[in-house]
Every structure is written in structure tokens, then in C-alpha cells.
Structure 1
Amino acid sequence: MNEALKQLLDLLDLEQIELDIFRGRSPEDRLQRVFGGQVAGQALVAAARTVPDDRRVHSLHAYFIRPGDPSVPIVYTVDRIRDGRSFTTRRVVALQHGKAIFTMSASFHVPEPGISHQGATMPAVPLPESLPTWNERMRSIFGDDTDPWWSGPRPFDARYVTPMTWEARRDPALRQPETNVWLRAEGELPDDPLLHIVLMAYASDFTLVDTILLAHGLAWGESRMMGASLDHAMWFHREFRADEWLLYAQESPISGQARGLARGQVFTASGELAVSVVQEAMIRVLD
């Protein structure tokens, strides 16, 4: 397990400060704002701490309300909305400076048998081992000018099948509203189904907005562009491991009125659909 993944697992281990109230912190890299996947992962951990062990999270629906301040802790309050015989519902509010920065509703379900089918098909893509690593890809784009935050150790090994936004910014022929990327946590993880789901919630926010930007030749770091996640929804269909290769297939069906929509499907290496994701983001071009 690399150091970045160890630090992420530490960030996800929230401090309980009162019944149904938890405190989380941010990494010390002092980004301009807290990464959305971090808040989503921590909020899901807070919700799960109030749910019986026999129930598994099957969906979450979240709104990003204000930018998170990475210099101060985040307080998570959990409302026990419902405890039914099969389903449990929780609402989480993340607070900083006395104001809500994020809200999430999460639903948990006692595993039970039922009808089963899969209509989704995993895209035919190269194996992850045949693709360059994130750092290799970044060096090929920026050379020695790569920002240290982008080129340092990361908790996930990400292997892009499709162009990255910085590549499409330079070459219009690469612009498309689709992204396929292989993901795998950088180390062996415990056999805790919740941990693997929380890590996928964290990683799911990395590239969805990129899929919208990719269609327009926009990329992070441009002074003329502002982007931020607005809302985020996930459905967890079957158990999976975040320390094994997962294909994150994403597409953006539409953008307009300073917003863009992106959808994602997470497949196991054997082609089983494990997670579905939808996100809307604000995209402002400052011409």
C-alpha cells in the first residue's frame, strides 16, 4: 500500500464527537477547496456508522452546496430518517464555518435474493497493464513542467484508455464526450465491503467532469474556465473490490446553460456492472 492510499484511509476514519456527529479533516496539500470525492466518502462513512452491520449501502444522492475549506475540519451530522425491516435511510449534512457545504441521503438494504439481469455491456478496451500509468501519461504531456500535485503519489492507479483533457485541448481531433479509465487502489485492502464502496465514491468524482470538458477542449488549470460538481448520485449493484481493476466507462450526453451532465458505469474486469453514477457540474467559460 502506497503512502497516498494510507493517508486517504486515515482521512476516512472519522472522529466521533457526539452521538451521530463526526469530524473529518482534509489532507495537508492545501488545495483551494476540498475535493468533492473526499466529502462524499467521509459523509458515507458517517452515515454507515449509524446503521446496523447487516445492511449494505445501495444508493446515495448528494448535493455540493459550497466550496469546502481545506484548512479547517468538516463536521458531519447524521439524521436517522428511517429504520425499516429491510431498508435504512440516513441524511448527512457536512458543516464548516456554521454553514452546510454538502448534503447526502444514503439508503442501506439487507441483502436478499431477487430477480437478476444485466443489460449493460462493458466496452471493449485494452487491458490496463498495456496502458501507461498516470505519471507516465502526465510526463508525456507536460514533460518536466508537470505540477507536483499532479505528478506525486496517488491513492488510485488510473490508466486512461481515452484522451485526457490536456491532450484534447491541444488536438481538436481528440475531443469526444466519452472517457474510459481503469482504476485500482494502490495497495491491498481489508475485506470490508463498505470500505471498497467508500473508496469508489471517492474515486468516482475524479473524471466525470473531465468527460464534459473533453468534448469542448477544456482542461483544469485554465484561467478562462471554472468548473465544480453540483450533485452526485450512485447506485451499488453488487459487491466489488477497489483493489482490483475496475473499468470506469463515462459519457456526457448533454451540456448547456453553464451546466453539463455526465454518466458513468463501473465494471469489474470480468464485465459485471458494479456501480452506476450520474453527476451534474457547473462549467463556466470566462471569455
Structure 2
Amino acid sequence: MQDVTRELVDLLDLAPVGNDHFSGDSQDLGFPSVFGGQVLGQALMAASRTVDDRLAHSLHAYFLRPGDAREPIDYEVNRVRDGGSFSTRRVMARQSGKEILTAIVSFQVEEEGLEHQFEMPAAPGYETLNTELDLRRKLEAYMPERSRELLLKERAIEIRPVNPGDPLKPSVERPHKQHWMRALGELPDDPTLHRCLLAYASDFGLLGTSINPHGVTFMDPRLQVASLDHAIWFHREFRMDQWLLYDMDSPSSSGGRGFSRGNIFDPAGRLVASTTQEALIRKHMKS
């Protein structure tokens, strides 16, 4: 396991601080607030710590306030129900006594059932693509000095975008994105950890799909963006230290909100997870 991946795994390894209470540190990725995927991954880990012999199959979360990367996050888990096949947990994440995220997580016993899935879409192989880090390095001169070092730091999740576009000269594009992703280095055989890492990684790129058709990028100072909610469903087993294709589209944006969804496939073409997200996308006009 590489050092940056171990750092992320440790970040998800929450410390118990009481009955069904856990504390997690935050990681500064150079964004204005705590990366939403971090809070998703930690919330899923907190809920999983209160369930035995069942794995999460879905998570539904709302982002209530931006988080502060300088402060730890408290996660409180409410054991809503333990049934014969399913368990439900409610998670509340707080900083300084204020709620920043609320989530419902559902767990299921392993069982067989009817199966079908969408076919994996066409995509160039990951070995033919540049990494997101390489692409960021080409933009170093245009990055804010205060966050440049963090934005150029290697991250635990390696991402290789398909058709990344030029953020300095944005054009109107289809509401569709793809990228390959994986965790750097070999991970332990812990399906809960792999689910938490995928929840973390699923927040990369999804929001941006909803601004593709509008000829703007995150570097536009008039653009105000923030995740409002996020859901993920786990369909089949997978490993985060193997390449996964994230295929994303955005069926609609309206009312200052953009809606995106994604399907995640393993190299064998198995659909392993799906996501949805709605985000605030406001474009302020210059005064």
C-alpha cells in the first residue's frame, strides 16, 4: 500500500468516542471546504461499525453545511432497525455542534437473486490516458497560490479522465463524462473498506458532469457549486485497487441545480455500483 493510500485508509478508520459515536479527522485537498467524498466514506464506515455480518448495499446522504478541514468530525449512529435480512442506520455528522451531513445506510445479508445489468459502455483503455495529476500540473501557473501545493499533491485515488477538456478554454460539451479510477497500491481483503473507498471516490467528477453543457468550469469565479445530496448503490463485489470505469451523465439542470448519475464497472464489464447526485450550480453575473 502506498503512503498516500495508507493515509486515506487511516482517515477512514474512525476512532470510537462512545456508544455509537465516532470521530474522524479531515484531509485538506485544496478545496474551499472538506471534500464531500471524505464525509460520505467516513459516514459509511461509522454505520458499518455498528452492523455485524451484513454489508452496505445503499447510502443516501444530504450535505447540510460545508465542512472545515481544520476540525475533526463527530459521527453519531442511530440503530434504526435490524430485521431478518436488512439493517438500517441513520448517521449524523457534526462539526462544532452543527450538522454538516445526514445519511441513511441500508445493509443486507448475502443472498442469491435474479440478475441483469446494463452493458459496459465503450471507453478507451486506462493505459492510453493521462492521469488527472499530470493534467493538473499543466495548469500550475493558473492555480491560486494558497492551494497550489495541495492541488498538485499525489492523491490516493488515481484518476484517468476520458476527454478531459480545457478548463482555460471551456466549450459546450455533451452532459457525459468518463474516467478510470483506482486506489494506489494493494489493499487488504476488507469489503467494507472497499465500499467506503468507493463512496469517497464516487464524488470525484460527478458534479462536473452537470456543467459540461454550459461552457463553464470550476475555475470560473462567477460559478458557485456545491453538492446537495449523494446516493450510492453497491450491486456486486469489487476491489478499489483494481481499475474501475466511472460512466457519468447529467439528464437535467434547472432551478440552479444540476442532476447527475453514474454507473461504475470493473474491467470484466460487471456493473458494481451506481450513483446519483444533485448539486447547486449558480452562475453569478458580474456587477
Range of TM-score over shorter length: over 0.9
User: Which letter maps to 2:202?
Assistant: S
Q: Which amino acid in structure 1 is aligned with residue 244 of structure 2? A: L
Amino acid at match of 2:272: A
Q: CA deviation at 1:2?
A: 2.8
SS where residue 170 of structure 1 aligns? coil
Residue 149 of structure 1 corresponds to 150
Q: Is the 8 A contact 2:182 2:240 kept in 1?
A: yes
Question: Does the residue aligned with 2:249 lie in a helix, a strand or coil?
Answer: strand
CA distance in 2 between partners of 1:257 and 1:20 (Å) = 38
* 1:45-101 CA distance string (max 9 Å, x none): 00000001x201000100000111112111000000000111000000001121211
In 2, the alpha carbon distance for the partners of 1:111 and 1:176 equals 39
Q: Report SS of the residue matched to 2:214.
A: coil
Question: Is the CA contact (8 Å cut-off) linking 2:29 and 2:35 kept in structure 1?
Answer: no
Q: 2:171·2:216 contact (CA, 8 Å) conserved in 1?
A: no
**Cα distance, 1:139 vs structure 2:** 3.4
Specify which of 181, 184, 194 is matched with residue 182 of structure 2: 184
Distance in 2 (CA, whole Å) between partners of 1:152 and 1:47 is: 30
Deviation of the 1:222 alpha carbon: 2.4
Q: 2:130 aligns with which of 115, 132, 144?
A: 132
Moved more, 66-75 or 256-265: 66-75
Q: CA 1:31–1:171 in 2, change beyond 3 Å: closer, same or farther?
A: closer
Alignment TM-score, normalising by the size of structure 2: 0.94
> Aligned residues: percent identity?
49
Shift of 1:138: 2.5
Cα distance, 1:190 vs structure 2: 0.3
Distance 1:48 1:213, change over 3 A: same
Aligned equivalents of 1:135 and 1:75: distance in 2? 31
Deviating above 4 A after TM superposition, structure 1's stretches of 4 or more consecutive aligned residues are 28-31, 143-146
> Which residue identity does 1:44 align to in structure 2?
L
Distance in 1 (alpha carbons) for counterparts of 2:141 and 2:29:
20
Query: 2: distance between equivalents of 1:5 and 1:50?
Result: 25
Q: Aligned partners of 1:228, 1:160: CA distance in 2, in Å? A: 21
Superposed counterparts of 1:1-287, under 5 Å = 1-27=1-27, 31-52=31-52, 54-118=53-117, 120-140=118-138, 142=139, 144-145=141-142, 147-164=148-165, 167=166, 170-172=169-171, 175-287=173-285
Structure 1 residue runs without a partner (length 5+):
none
The answer (yes or no) to whether the contact 2:248–2:261 under 8 Å persists in 1 is yes
More helix by share: 1
After TM superposition, give the deviation of residue 28 of structure 1 in Å: 5.1
Instruction: Check whether the contact 2:170–2:217 (CA below 8 A) recurs between aligned residues.
Output: no
Cα distance between partner residues in 2 of 1:260 and 1:199 = 24
Structure 1 distance, partners of 2:127, 2:142, is 26
Gap runs ≥5 in structure 2: none
1:217-244 CA-partner distances (Å, limit 9, x unpaired) = 2222321111000011111000000000
| Alpha-carbon RMSD | 1.5
Report deviation, 1:33: 1.1
Give the TM-score of the pair, scaled to structure 1: 0.94
**Cα distance per residue 1:238-272 (max 9 Å; x no partner):** 00000000000000000011000000000001111
What secondary structure, in the 3-state scheme, does the structure 2 residue paired with 1:282 have?
Answer: strand
Q: Which amino acid aligns with 1:115?
A: L
